[in-house]
Amino acid sequence: MKEIIEKYFEKNRDFMVEDIAKLVRIKSDKQEAKEGKPFGEGPAEVLAVALEIASKMGFKTHNYDNYAGAIDLNDHERKLDILAHLDVVPAGNGWSITEPFEPLVRDGRIYGRGTTDDKGPAVAALYAMKAVKDLNIPIKAGVRLILGTDEECGSSDIRYYYGIEPEAPMTFSPDTGFPVVNIEKGGLQGRFVYELEGSNKTPRVTALRAGVKSNVVPGDSIAVVEGMGPEEIERYCKAVSERTGVFFDLSTGGNTTTVKAKGVQVHAATPGKGNNALTAILELVSSIPFPESAGIEKLRALNAIFPHGDWLGKSAGVAMSDELSGDLTISLNMLEYDGSSFSGTFDCRAPLCATRENLSDVIRKRLAEHRIHLENSDMYPPHHVSGESPFVQTLLKCYELYTGNKGYCIAIGGGSYVHRLKNGVGFGCTMPGTDNNMHGADEFAVIDELVTSAKIFTQAIIELCE
């Protein structure tokens, strides 16, 4: 069977890449809701195109009011669901290989926003179902590929879907990595606010902004300084840049200087892989001897609680770790400050040992020391499926068969569609050691890895449902 599957994908490799490119060309980040399109034009369009591709392959499809779509391999009672998503994070800046929504194949990779998260994996799963169908492999149970359109902004799409349909006994999502992700950390996305009296003392910071999404470490930030010359600000910029690796660009108009910080945008699940432009610019404004005011006091307080480079939460007082799920991570990802008020959001990914008492209560108290109010402190729970279950062991066996590598279970900080499913795990499509620039500039997928993933998924469908 392995040889037959491998030959099938040798013949269909280019078709698979073409269909991935077709989806990547559609700008499908969340936009303003419209009638019949809960997440805007792009997500609705990409779902329609994906379902059309599947329909032309001969599959039965169903659109759940543009929240999600379903593609069924057969009419049997469902035993396996595969969950993928077609929405993407905003394009961001810094792309150099190609434009975000102009897919490009180069050196065995396909570049573009969504190639690895999660349009490429979605197509790999679709082609796995197509392989089972085209090769006439007898399947005794139902298999469904579910395509969502709001995974990046809270997964309201999949909640809508499961408000209509039941869970399958087994579910995997090709939106994490290989071999098998059986633990997803819990955590907290905390939002804080503060109203303060404005100050006219100069020099002063009149504005500070950063962030695109709460689950994205920002690669860009901006601060506006009034009453201080660019030459003096430049001295502080140079010192902070040497410490942080974040670069600063200055422009002056009248009595104000705009400082733009350039770091590296990454997914908040792995803040250590990026370089947070927001925490760097907080360090910059905290290092400049502005006259005392409520505004600069609060900015310095945030710098003390979330200092640049401290993604383990030591300064916030929440550093912790356990053997199964690893370290806690935390990143300050969004901030809006206008001199008279500010609001911000941090993203914390917490291991199995985290509790309300040792995490959310600690952060709330730390912020309250500076009279900053944490609006929400509800943790979302971690997700854990036993690595010894027959389901997980079967997936590991399929992985080993097509890679020749030993399978094992891993824990991640990211939360996928399976986080609240009873028997759901992450399975593919990124191979160990590959960094796809997910959520960053020049996102790419290794084509060989996507093809191998499709082979693994084909075998998994056979093993689990034959």
Among all chains, which residue has been given the structure tokens 């040992």? Answer: 353
Whole-angstrom distance, CA of residue 272 vs CA of residue 217: 10
3-state helix, strand, coil in the chain (%, to 5): 35, 25, 40
pLDDT of residue 212: 87
DSSP 378: P
Question: Which residues face 329 on adjacent strands?
Answer: 349
pLDDT of residue 380: 86
The CA distances from residue 119 to 10, 395, 429, in Å, are 20, 21, 11
Q: Where are the alpha helices (DSSP H) in 25-82?
A: 41-56
Q: Residue 222: name the closest of 255, 256, 245 by CA.
A: 256
Whole-angstrom distance, CA of residue 72 vs CA of residue 133: 11
pLDDT of residue 117: 95
Residue 296 and residue 201 in contact, taking contact as beta carbons nearer than 8 Å:
no
pTM of the model: 0.77
Mean pLDDT by 10 residues, the chain (466 residues): 97 98 98 97 98 98 98 97 97 95 98 97 98 97 98 94 98 96 93 83 94 92 96 96 97 94 93 96 97 93 98 97 94 95 94 93 94 87 94 98 97 88 96 92 97 98 95
Whole-angstrom distance, CA of residue 456 vs CA of residue 371: 53
What SS3 state is found at 13?
Answer: helix
DSSP 382: P
Domains identified in the chain and CATH numbers: 2-185+382-465 (3.40.630.10), 189-374 (3.30.70.360)
Whole-angstrom distance, CA of residue 466 vs CA of residue 461: 7
Q: Residue 178: name the closest of 429, 6, 458 by CA.
A: 429
pLDDT of residue 200: 82
pLDDT digits (tens, 9 = 90+) for 43-78: 999 999 999 999 999 999 999 999 999 999 999 999
pLDDT of residue 415: 79
Whole-angstrom distance, CA of residue 312 vs CA of residue 320: 8
pLDDT of residue 2: 96
pLDDT of residue 273: 93
The CA distances from residue 197 to 145, 295, 340, 342, in Å, are 54, 8, 6, 11
Whole-angstrom distance, CA of residue 120 vs CA of residue 28: 14
What SS3 state is found at 456?
Answer: helix
| Dihedrals phi, psi of 350, to nearest 5 degrees | -110, 140
pLDDT of residue 201: 86
